[in-house]
Structure 1
């Protein structure tokens, strides 16, 4: 037995005392490190690896980062890319999240030592940007804001909505089913393509909980169409819940047809609901702005606690709203000339062509609105190699070509992108 190589397999406690494993335990947790050691020891006992290789094998099983999520370079030209996490946070928001990761005064008044309004600074930042709102509330996503509003205002009652606004959002979720889940009844008015003020007026009555105005942000309807604006709906006497979807707080000249919170509140919306991680450019969140009494009614509803956001979201949202222009708006406002020099430099280094392309807002915002730009044209097969590289680069495949669009690529990443492209081209 003295010559049995299995006797040379290092003990678990010996390996855990090794500084390399101690550091790994600090980063990934002791249980995860212990599991990797056990797997490597079993491999040595079965003869798959030598006892001397146990430590190296266990360390190789440790992930390179604490999270399995991998940072990717978005070269698709789609700014708010749902599959890539929608809005990239600004540097200010990232710094705010890191600072809030420990203990914070998220719900504590340091001056008095008493409990305070949760996330007061983020809410105040929103109200400063949208002075038309009497109050603000933040929940965990845009759909949650709409669910909370219809539950608090119309549970057991009717929600009056145009048939042309009964939209389906990503992953098969449909507005009628969302509203039905709140215990409210849908009262559909008008037709798919045309709805008039009289249609709403005939439907509003004692059973009306609210009128819902939902911006169909993920599609556009053209031709023989008509709709009713918030300014007209606000004359019917029922609360108007206006869902702008995309999260613009104020008009954006680049997207003149996209609704915004300030405009719809000025037109008479009781409350406006929106997303925080689309055109607002912040973390995933649902924002409610509007009449103070109605917002307070939503805040006091039992469902609000289940939809509450954490301190990291509040920190990122405050930094986004009060800070510099977020990356999303910079990317949307970028013109072909803004990325021309960078695109041509990389294309020349690779000896390939540059072509004109149209980017997209994405995330259900400004459907059909092109964002003029340019891209590096490569063989279609390169797209897969780019995705599997380090760092992963996600490009667009169209017309039999792989198109690498720099609209959403931060300029400091240009050299890493060029290296990835060279590696993918072999």
Structure 2
């Protein structure tokens, strides 16, 4: 969209994503020239206005999915940036990161919604097909038809397109979002984020009971966890977990045994105990986790 011209980016959004890919390097590889505006912690609309000129090819926004800058900070809302860009005939490319499509999910309040950027008028909105969207690993682009069509015609588009199985999985995931209530129930990442206290307590207690009946010391405590996966870095998921005493083998050896099982079990180790978090398990998974711990300690 901006090859041979300037791509204007806030200095606060010159981020590095997984795999050591950096925004300045990506812009350079595209054939565009990077034009930095603002500062690391504060960028205003006037910074973008001063950067506008005949050589401006695009405005680029990049959401810091896996970190946050807090305190004395300021940035430009997508609506204001799109309005400025639209008046100058400049496209806005908005990389919003984790792909928050679900609505009315309190845990997603810190993530930019896909619909908001599209409604604001961004020409291209980029986001992940996995992470918070809950589908297969993929990159998605939506936005203005003419801009998306230009991306589709680029020679790299064919080389980078996902395989048919991943495409089918993505379609199945997106179909769930047509019924918002069903998406909250059936998309695993959304179900985990929104799990009720009663459901979590029931699974944690079920694991504790199974372990206790096998002679293993375990109790239900409260603990905090992170979402992970490069999303929601400030969100603490607090709730009940099943804390297992590893006995004489120690927690490090116990975790190694569980990871090396025929059906690997990855649990958290905290203060010498093994934590089984019911948020990442359904009822069958909680029973299977308890059985795996019993086998590892037998």
TM-score (norm 1): 0.62
Distance 1:347 1:165 in 2: 45
Secondary structure of 2:205's aligned partner: helix
* Counterpart for residue 242 of structure 1: 94
Distance 2:265 2:104 in 1: 29
Q: CA deviation at 1:293?
A: 0.8
* Counterpart for residue 172 of structure 1: 20
Query: Do structure 1's residue 399 and structure 2's residue 271 form an aligned pair?
Result: yes
Contact 1:335 1:371 in 2 (8 A): no
Secondary structure of 2:208's aligned partner: helix
* Counterpart for residue 373 of structure 1: 239
Unaligned runs of 5+ in 1: 1-152
Distance 2:31 2:110 in 1: 33
Change (3 A) 1:399 1:220: farther
Contact 1:250 1:262 in 2 (8 A): no
- Which is worse superposed, 408-417 or 283-292? 408-417
Q: CA deviation at 1:178?
A: 2.0
User: How many residue pairs align between the two structures?
Assistant: 274
Q: CA deviation at 1:396?
A: 1.3
Distance 1:261 1:250 in 2: 9
* Counterpart for residue 339 of structure 1: 200
Distance 1:390 1:296 in 2: 46
1:282 to 123, 135, 138: 135
Counting strand residues as a fraction of each chain, which structure ranks higher? 2
Change (3 A) 1:371 1:385: same
Query: Do structure 1's residue 421 and structure 2's residue 279 form an aligned pair?
Result: no
Change (3 A) 1:181 1:233: same
1:310 to 163, 176, 183: 163
Query: Do structure 1's residue 387 and structure 2's residue 240 form an aligned pair?
Result: no
Distance 2:282 2:23 in 1: 35
Distance 2:288 2:105 in 1: 33
Q: CA deviation at 1:304?
A: 1.1
Q: CA deviation at 1:425?
A: 2.1
For each residue in 1:18-38, what CA deviation from the matched residue of structure 2 results, as whole angstroms up to 9, or x when unmatched?
xxxxxxxxxxxxxxxxxxxxx
Distance 1:253 1:348 in 2: 32
For each residue in 1:365-418, what CA deviation from the matched residue of structure 2 results, as whole angstroms up to 9, or x when unmatched?
111111222212134232222112231100112333321112112322233211
Secondary structure of 1:180's aligned partner: helix
Contact 1:272 1:289 in 2 (8 A): yes
Backbone CA RMSD of aligned residues? 1.6
Query: Do structure 1's residue 157 and structure 2's residue 5 form an aligned pair?
Result: yes
* Counterpart for residue 30 of structure 2: 182
Query: Do structure 1's residue 294 and structure 2's residue 142 form an aligned pair?
Result: no
2:125 to 272, 290, 301: 272
Distance 1:399 1:193 in 2: 36
TM-score (norm 2): 0.87
For each residue in 1:89-108, what CA deviation from the matched residue of structure 2 results, as whole angstroms up to 9, or x when unmatched?
xxxxxxxxxxxxxxxxxxxx
For each residue in 1:141-186, what CA deviation from the matched residue of structure 2 results, as whole angstroms up to 9, or x when unmatched?
xxxxxxxxxxxx1122111111111111223222222222222211
Distance 1:217 1:251 in 2: 18
Identify the structure with bigger relative contact order (alpha carbons < 8 Å, sequence gap 6+): 1
Contact 1:336 1:372 in 2 (8 A): no
Q: How does 1:67-146 map to 2 (within 5 A)?
A: none
Change (3 A) 1:250 1:344: closer
Contact 1:158 1:186 in 2 (8 A): yes
Look at both structures and tell me which one has the larger radius of gyration over its CA atoms. 1
* Counterpart for residue 11 of structure 1: none
Unaligned runs of 5+ in 2: 177-181, 213-217
Contact 1:246 1:279 in 2 (8 A): yes
Query: Do structure 1's residue 204 and structure 2's residue 52 form an aligned pair?
Result: yes
* Counterpart for residue 175 of structure 2: 322
Q: CA deviation at 1:303?
A: 1.6
Query: Do structure 1's residue 229 and structure 2's residue 81 form an aligned pair?
Result: no
